[in-house]
Amino acid sequence: MYRSITMRIEPDSEQRRFIDESIRVHHYVYNALITAVKLYFSDHGRIPSQNELNSLCTEMWRKNGWMHGIYQNTMNQAAKRVLDAFKACNPKIKQRSRKKKDGNAEGAFVLRSPRYRKLSRSNTFGYISNKTFRIVTDIDAKGRERRSLSLGKMEGTLRCYNQSTPIRGEPKTVIISRKDIGTHYEYFATIQYG
């Protein structure tokens, strides 16, 4: 069974830029993948698999140099969110539609699409493999254990506020999010472990 813990994190100015840029890129990728799924469905009569969307993410990252500042595998989390959104909008969807002899699809299915997101409503990105992030434990000047978070392609470690809740098990994924307070953003990390 998986459990999760959410803690506030405190990035420095460089780390804040990295997180904000990652969120901006993931916003673009999320909206582009919605269009890609619609086009794929119109050509093939089914939604693409997770692996097919992951391959598309790799291709987008490879061809767009402005995306190279973020960790490429985090885009797979955007692909998973897009597929989950399509499945939620289309609970009765069949992966493959049978074709009649005349070439028309049987029981023409209209694919309902999730909404595109505005940048102001995009506030998360995630690392879906524990090979791309880690929890770092240090001893402070008073002899207490202090944990921080290290993310792939980001310099340094993120200071974590929740030090008291234990993480019993191996961390699996981490979702980084930000919340608009009006004058500034607050940043959070949700770690899933099991």
**Whether 137 and 186 share a structural domain:** yes
Task: Decide: helix, strand or coil at residue 145.
Answer: strand
Same domain for 101 and 33: yes
Residues 63 and 98 in one domain: yes
Which strands form 133-139's sheet, in the order they lie side by side? Answer: 124-127, 171-180, 185-193, 3-10, 158-160, 145-151, 133-139
pLDDT tens-place string over residues 32-68? 999 999 999 989 888 999 999 999 999 999 999 999 9
115 and 130 fall within a common domain = no
Structural domain count, the chain: 2
Measuring CA to CA, which residue among 60, 116, 114 is closest to residue 84?
Answer: 114
Same domain, 43 and 113: yes
How far is 104 from 127, CA to CA, in rounded Å? 41
Model confidence over 92-117: pLDDT tens digits?
775 444 555 555 555 556 889 999 99
- Give the structural domain span for 184: 3-11+125-193
Instruction: Over range 118-140, report the average pLDDT.
Output: 89
Most distant CA pair in the chain: distance in Å?
77
Place of tokens 């955007």: 78
Confidence (pTM): 0.83
Instruction: Please write the tens of the pLDDT for every residue from 138-148.
Output: 888 888 888 99
